[in-house]
């Protein structure tokens, strides 16, 4: 693998090779090497990354059904982020609003670029309000409106006053170029959630027992529905999910939960930290992708609340669910054992899905994130050593302090210490490299060329990535499973999700059609040339 890394590097122009080399490392789980991550992509290498606007509007705020999200920008930005992540939602009755199927945009034109777009934005808000009467409207800035200097926050304040009646309108300065990837958009979105929504409503809804929030779950392919089913079965009261199958009211009540569980830490660890500081809610990392990891999550919740009633119920549910899981896994393993996977997904799935592959007896021989940070690879312990560059400084850091009236530590120092002594980890995640086999390749912001070479050389049984990679990879005779939107499959979270995944992967790695497909270099004469400059 070291050799492979060298071979790739010599193909790039020297400067590019030198930069990319820092983002390609060979795994050593005992002592994870430092990896370069969350830095600007080298222009021209063909990245799979998205933009800051996509991270803010598409990812974090997109799945909430009763907010009107207006994209202030050219229509393409709104269109791109319109349901592209296939996040599902389930209104409880016909009075429950669902705006997810709409695409709201100011559709700015050349004349707005010249004369400014704020009036058009005001008009769009008026129109959206007259048509739908929402209680919350968010405005998202795109690159061109940032460049011309439209102030979406000023427009939000103005329109909140004009419409009145307690409507909540706020803006996000999430111009596509603001950060090096979607990741900046997550941070901006998290700040906005905290400033404008979390903790606005103190009314306690639902049972007082076992109140938790799930952070960083976006209901792709119905994952949230499966997790809701499991929590309900265990008697765990899910106050809010950020933001799969969510509503504004759930965000406003989120501070009434007693435990925050962080699933996709990349996109939302900021909210967990802010809520701990302001309200005293501890947070733990959970990982309900994979049946055994789901069981582990449930046991952690039970341990945290420490009541026999919940511990027993959780064990009962696990035992019951694992019967079908075990059978499905055994069946799939007949065809999946020993097969090889590669996983290149955004910011946490390239790690999380390794649990499911392990359950299938498969090895992940190469993996990486599009836009993860060093802590997502190396673990949270490296955070103090991460250099803050100008691109990160571009993102607003908000100062959070104890809420004057509602700060209420859910556990005493002693209780937390005791839980820790019994194996519970607060404020912690270990990163992808701890899990990967020694010698596997870890690559950040994989380029198209590197992807081609990986496939050509190692010919994995399945390559997991997104729509941009899908058809290029399949033309090389390797099946590509989308792990952003699951193709037409899913859910893959929880127990039933694991069963779906086993079956889908078994089918994929057993299909003989892929053997019939030849990559161009396998069937044609290949001529190589060097461009001298
Ligand atoms: Fe978190 Fe996500 Fe992901 Fe992500 Fe994304 Fe996504 Fe993703 Mo696509 S929030 S980092 S920004 S788990 S949209 S639901 S699938 S790249 S790995
Ligand atoms: C995004 C969204 C995306 C893209 C998926 C893909 C998603 O990056 O803005 O490349 O297939 O999950 O929908 O990550």
pTM: 0.96
Residue 56: closest CA among 261, 196, 201: 196
Pocket of ligand 1 from Cβ distances under 6 Å: 55, 59, 85, 182, 216, 218, 220, 264, 266-267, 345-349, 484
How far is ligand 1, taken at its centre, from the CA of residue 437, in Å?
A: 23
Query: What's the rounded Cα separation, in Å, for the pair 48 and 64?
Result: 25
Nearest Cα residue to atom 10 of ligand 1: 347
Give the model's pLDDT for residue 530. 79
Judge contact between 238 and 246, C-beta under 8 A: no
Question: Residue 533 has what pLDDT?
Answer: 66
Tell me, what's the pLDDT at 257?
98
Question: pLDDT value at position 383?
Answer: 97
Spans of the chain, pLDDT less than 50: none
Domains, the chain, with CATH or none: 52-179 (3.40.50.1980)
Structure confidence at residue 447 (pLDDT): 97
DSSP H or E stretch at residue 367: strand 363-369
Atom of ligand 1 nearest to the CA of 60: 9
Ligand 2: which residues within 6 Å by Cβ?
Answer: 50, 54, 58, 84-85, 182, 346, 466-468, 482, 484-485
What's the token pair of residue 442?
């870890």
466 C-alpha to center of ligand 2: Å? 7
Q: Which residues are tagged catalytic?
A: 51, 54, 85, 186
Atom 11, ligand 2: which residue's CA is nearest?
A: 466
Atom of ligand 1 nearest to the CA of 220: 14
Q: How far apart (Å, rounded) are the C-alpha atoms in residues 53 and 212?
A: 29
Residue 413 pLDDT: 97
> What is the structure's pLDDT at 317?
99
Distance 85 CA to ligand 2 centre (A): 6
Q: How far is the centre of ligand 2, averaged over its atoms, from the C-alpha of 224 (Å)?
A: 18
ipTM (interface pTM):
0.97
d(CA 124, CA 134): 13
Nearest atom in ligand 1 to 55's CA? 11
HEC profile for 235-302? CCEEEEEEECCCCHHHHHHHHHCCEEEECCHHHHHHHHHHHHHHHCCCEEECCCECHHHHHHHHHHHH
Q: Measured between alpha carbons, how far is 128 from 328 in angstroms, rounded to an integer?
A: 48
- The ligand with the least distance to the CA atom of 80 is 2
Distance CA 435, CA 433 (A): 5
Compute, in angstroms, the gap from residue 349 CA to the centroid of ligand 2.
12
Q: What is the DSSP letter of 384?
A: G
How confident is the model at residue 517, as a pLDDT?
82
């Amino acid at each position: 693998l070291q050799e492979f890394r060298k071979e790739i590097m010599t193909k790039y122009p020297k400067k590019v090779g030198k930069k990319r080399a820092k983002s390609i490392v060979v795994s050593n789980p005992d002592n994870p090497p430092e990896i370069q991550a969350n830095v600007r992509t080298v222009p021209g290498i063909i990245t799979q990354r998205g933009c800051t606007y996509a991270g803010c509007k598409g990812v974090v705020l997109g799945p909430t059904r009763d907010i009107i999200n207006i994209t202030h920008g050219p229509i393409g930005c709104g269109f791109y982020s319109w349901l592209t992540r296939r996040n599902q939602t389930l209104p409880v009755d016909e009075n429950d609003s669902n705006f997810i199927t709409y695409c709201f945009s100011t559709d700015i034109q050349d004349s707005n670029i010249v004369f400014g777009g704020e009036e058009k934005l005001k008009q769009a808000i008026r129109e959206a309000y007259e048509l739908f009467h929402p209680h919350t409207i968010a405005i998202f800035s795109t690159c061109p409106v940032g460049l011309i200097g439209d102030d979406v926050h000023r427009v939000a304040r103005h329109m909140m006053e004009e419409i009145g009646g307690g409507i909540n309108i706020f803006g996000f300065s999430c111009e596509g170029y603001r950060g090096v990837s979607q990741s900046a958009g997550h941070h901006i979105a998290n700040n906005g959630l905290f400033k404008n929504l979390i903790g606005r409503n103190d009314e306690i809804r639902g049972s007082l027992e076992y109140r938790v929030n799930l952070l960083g779950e976006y209901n792709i392919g119905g994952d949230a529905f499966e997790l809701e089913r499991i929590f309900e079965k265990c008697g765990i009261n899910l106050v809010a999910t950020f933001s799969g199958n969510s509503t504004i009211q759930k965000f406003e009540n989120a501070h009434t939960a007693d435990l925050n569980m962080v699933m996709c830490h990349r996109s939302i660890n900021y909210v967990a930290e802010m809520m701990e500081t302001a309200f005293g809610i501890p947070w733990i990392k959970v990982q309900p992708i994979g049946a055994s990891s789901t069981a582990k999550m449930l046991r952690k919740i039970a341990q945290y609340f420490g009541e026999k009633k919940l511990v027993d119920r959780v064990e009962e549910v696990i035992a019951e669910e694992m019967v079908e899981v075990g059978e499905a896994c055994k069946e799939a393993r007949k065809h999946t054992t020993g097969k090889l996977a590669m996983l290149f997904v955004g910011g946490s799935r390239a790690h999380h899905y390794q649990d499911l592959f392990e359950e299938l007896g498969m090895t992940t021989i190469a993996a990486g994130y599009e836009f993860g940070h060093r802590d997502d690879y190396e673990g949270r312990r490296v955070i103090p050593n991460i250099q803050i560059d100008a691109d990160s400084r571009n993102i607003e850091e908000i100062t959070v302090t104890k809420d004057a009236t509602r700060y209420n530590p859910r556990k005493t120092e002693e209780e937390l210490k005791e839980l820790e002594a019994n194996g519970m980890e607060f404020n912690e995640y270990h990163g992808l490299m701890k899990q990967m086999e020694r010698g596997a390749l870890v690559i950040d912001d994989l380029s198209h060329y590197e992807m081609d070479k990986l496939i050509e050389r190692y010919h994995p049984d399945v390559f997991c990535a997104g729509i941009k990679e899908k058809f290029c990879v399949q033309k090389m005779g390797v099946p590509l499973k989308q792990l952003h939107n699951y193709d037409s499959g899913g859910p893959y979270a929880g127990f039933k999700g694991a069963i779906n995944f086993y079956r889908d992967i078994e089918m994929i790695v057993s299909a003989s059609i892929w053997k019939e497909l030849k990559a161009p270099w396998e069937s044609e004469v290949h001529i190589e040339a060097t461009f001298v400059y």
